[in-house]
């Protein structure tokens, strides 16, 4: 007997073929899509327009959840974080000291802001990049997530009590999205599809530390998403101290690849820049960043470093952050200071990980 298919991995033709393979009419696939994506229902017993026999046949071929939410947390600012354990043993309890369980876990975050509800999703368990200031890569890479597991994260966020519909997606959780490009691209197509969540291309952002060849993989993605380059330093020497993968390409090569994406899509590039107190937040760094941003159509997101236990970096002073932004703006660069959301539950940028030292959902986005 073949393994059950994962609902969130499926397109309408996939679902139609699956239900027809067990003797059900093709329109059952449409009913399933409406229950899950329009009503948020994944419990077959609650799908009242399906007969008992139909539900039994579907149950034999289809799996709605591959992940179990083992911890949910809510910050004082409304940010919600879910620790999801993938391929969780049926009926089993989460074992926080079990290494085999840790390499199955990811964190995903919902960030509320005005009318937006942004899902910060993970693409990998762990991260291969190993940025010196980020919690997600402390244990290296354990595995890639499938497209269905990426999409399922959005369902888990929307299934929380009181949750509102997700309006935006950012691939800024655990992992390097372009190191798992095929699954990420398939997930983007599903998230964007009108039969699924219908999230517009302009509301989907893929963030990458960047290798030029990986950025050019975006040519295979027909959805013109927003590209965010995690730059974090204005020159190669400092960037290589902070980001191990920076050894493989120069800032100039990355900017060239990003400019090509702009030429093809007309979509302005976002340069993400985490400000590390006393490391990359000096006026001279800002002046170098002005020169970089001036070479392309880009805006700069400035992000205050969020503390991670055991790492030597510190959060910058507010005065230094404002001075840095003023240099950019005086140089004609469109820049914004991103608010740190969810810090009190370690859900802010650079803090997502498998678990924390006390065994609870711990430190991306």
Q: What is the structure's pLDDT at 1?
A: 54
CB atoms within 10 A of CB 213: 12
Residue at which a domain ends, from 62, 78, 94 = 62
Judged against a pLDDT cut of 50, whether residue 240 lies above it is answered with yes
10 counts as catalytic: no
Judged against a pLDDT cut of 90, whether residue 98 lies above it is answered with no
Q: What is the structure's pLDDT at 88?
A: 65
For residues 3 and 276, give the distance between their C-alpha atoms in angstroms, rounded to a whole number. 47
Q: What is the structure's pLDDT at 163?
A: 80
Judged against a pLDDT cut of 60, whether residue 353 lies above it is answered with no
Look at 345 and 197; give whichever has higher pLDDT: 197
**β-bridge mates for residue 261, sequence order:** none
For residues 339 and 41, give the distance between their C-alpha atoms in angstroms, rounded to a whole number. 33
Give yes or no: residues 57 and 133 share one domain: no
Q: What is the mean pLDDT of residues 159-178?
A: 90
**pLDDT (tens digit, 9 = 90+) per residue, 257-313?**
999 999 988 889 999 999 999 999 999 999 999 999 998 889 999 999 988 888 899
Average pLDDT, the chain: 88
Query: What's the CATH code of the domain at 18?
Result: 1.10.150.530
Judged against a pLDDT cut of 90, whether residue 110 lies above it is answered with yes
Query: What's the CATH code of the domain at 124?
Result: 3.20.20.70
How is residue 211 written in tokens? 């290798």
Give yes or no: residues 31 and 109 share one domain: no
DSSP conformation letters of 139-192: T-EEEEPPHHHHHHHHHHHHHSTT-----EEEE-SSS-GGGGHHHHHHHHHHHH
Give yes or no: residues 202 and 187 share one domain: yes
Give yes or no: residues 117 and 44 share one domain: no
Q: What is the structure's pLDDT at 102?
A: 63
For residues 78 and 69, give the distance between their C-alpha atoms in angstroms, rounded to a whole number. 18
Residue at which a domain ends, from 62, 81, 99 = 62
Give yes or no: residues 32 and 146 share one domain: no
Give yes or no: residues 111 and 196 share one domain: yes
Give yes or no: residues 338 and 265 share one domain: yes
Judged against a pLDDT cut of 90, whether residue 341 lies above it is answered with no
Of 109, 156, 107, nearest to 127 (Cα)?
A: 107
Judged against a pLDDT cut of 90, whether residue 326 lies above it is answered with yes
Q: Could you tell me the pLDDT band of residue 77, with boundaries at 50, 70 and 90?
A: confident
Give yes or no: residues 247 and 155 share one domain: yes
Give yes or no: residues 27 and 84 share one domain: no
Of 65, 66, 69, nearest to 110 (Cα)?
A: 69
Asked whether residue 259 is domain-assigned, the answer is yes
**β-bridge mates for residue 298, sequence order:** 269
Of 106, 126, 121, 131, nearest to 206 (Cα)?
A: 121
Asked whether residue 239 is domain-assigned, the answer is yes
Residue at which a domain ends, from 13, 38, 62 = 62
349 counts as catalytic: yes
Q: What is the structure's pLDDT at 359?
A: 41
For residues 167 and 147, give the distance between their C-alpha atoms in angstroms, rounded to a whole number. 19
Q: What is the structure's pLDDT at 41?
A: 95
Number of H helices, E strands in the chain: 11, 14
For residues 37 and 195, give the distance between their C-alpha atoms in angstroms, rounded to a whole number. 8
Give yes or no: residues 292 and 236 share one domain: yes
Asked whether residue 21 is domain-assigned, the answer is yes
Judged against a pLDDT cut of 70, whether residue 101 lies above it is answered with no
Q: Which of 9, 69, 85, 107 is the catalytic position?
A: 107
Query: CA quadruple 147, 148, 149, 151: dihedral positive or negative?
Result: positive
Q: What is the structure's pLDDT at 310?
A: 84
Judged against a pLDDT cut of 60, whether residue 49 lies above it is answered with yes
Q: Is 274 helix (H, G, I), strand (E, B) or coil?
A: strand
For residues 363 and 307, give the distance between their C-alpha atoms in angstroms, rounded to a whole number. 10
Judged against a pLDDT cut of 60, whether residue 149 lies above it is answered with yes
Q: What is the mean pLDDT of residues 195-218?
A: 93
Asked whether residue 365 is domain-assigned, the answer is no
The number of folded domains in the chain is 2
- Most confident range, picked from 38-47, 333-342, 351-360: 38-47
Give yes or no: residues 190 and 202 share one domain: yes
Give yes or no: residues 28 and 158 share one domain: no
pTM of structure: 0.90
**pLDDT (tens digit, 9 = 90+) per residue, 57-75?**
999 999 999 999 888 888 8
Q: What is the structure's pLDDT at 113?
A: 87
Question: What is the domain extent for residue 43?
Answer: 5-62
Asked whether residue 50 is domain-assigned, the answer is yes
């Amino acid at each position: 007997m073949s393994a059950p298919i994962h609902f969130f991995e499926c397109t309408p033709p996939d679902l139609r073929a699956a239900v027809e393979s067990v003797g059900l009419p093709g329109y059952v696939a449409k009913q399933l899509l409406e229950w899950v994506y329009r009503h948020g229902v994944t419990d077959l017993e609650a799908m009242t327009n399906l007969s008992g026999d139909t539900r039994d046949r579907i149950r034999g071929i289809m799996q709605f959840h591959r992940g179990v939410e083992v911890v949910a947390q809510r910050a004082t600012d409304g940010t919600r974080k879910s620790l999801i354990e993938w391929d969780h043993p049926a009926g089993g309890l989460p074992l926080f000291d079990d290494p085999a369980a840790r390499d199955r876990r990811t964190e995903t975050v919902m960030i509320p802001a005005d009318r937006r509800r942004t899902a910060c999703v993970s693409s990998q368990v762990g991260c291969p990049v190993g940025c010196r200031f980020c919690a997600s890569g402390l244990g290296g890479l354990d595995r890639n997530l499938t497209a269905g597991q990426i999409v399922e994260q959005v369902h888990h966020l929307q299934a929380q009590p009181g949750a509102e519909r997700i309006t935006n997606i950012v691939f800024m959780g655990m992992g390097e999205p372009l190191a798992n490009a095929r699954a990420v691209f398939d997930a983007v197509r599903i998230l964007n599809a009108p039969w699924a969540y219908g999230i517009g291309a302009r509301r989907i952002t893929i963030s990458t530390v960047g290798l030029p060849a990986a950025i050019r993989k975006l040519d295979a993605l027909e959805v013109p998403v927003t590209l965010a380059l995690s730059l974090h330093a204005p020159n190669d020497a400092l960037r290589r101290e902070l980001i191990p993968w920076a050894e493989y390409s120069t800032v100039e090569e990355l900017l060239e690849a990003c400019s090509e994406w702009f030429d093809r899509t007309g979509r302005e590039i976002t340069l993400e820049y985490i400000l590390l107190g006393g490391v990359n937040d000096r006026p001279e760094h800002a002046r170098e960043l002005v020169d970089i941003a001036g070479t392309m159509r880009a805006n700069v997101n400035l992000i205050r470093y969020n503390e991670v236990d055991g790492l030597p970096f510190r959060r910058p002073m507010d005065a230094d952050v404002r001075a840095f932004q003023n240099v950019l703006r005086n140089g004609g660069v469109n820049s914004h200071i991103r608010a740190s959301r969810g810090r009190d539950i370690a859900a802010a940028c650079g803090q997502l990980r498998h678990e924390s030292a006390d065994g609870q959902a711990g430190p991306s986005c």
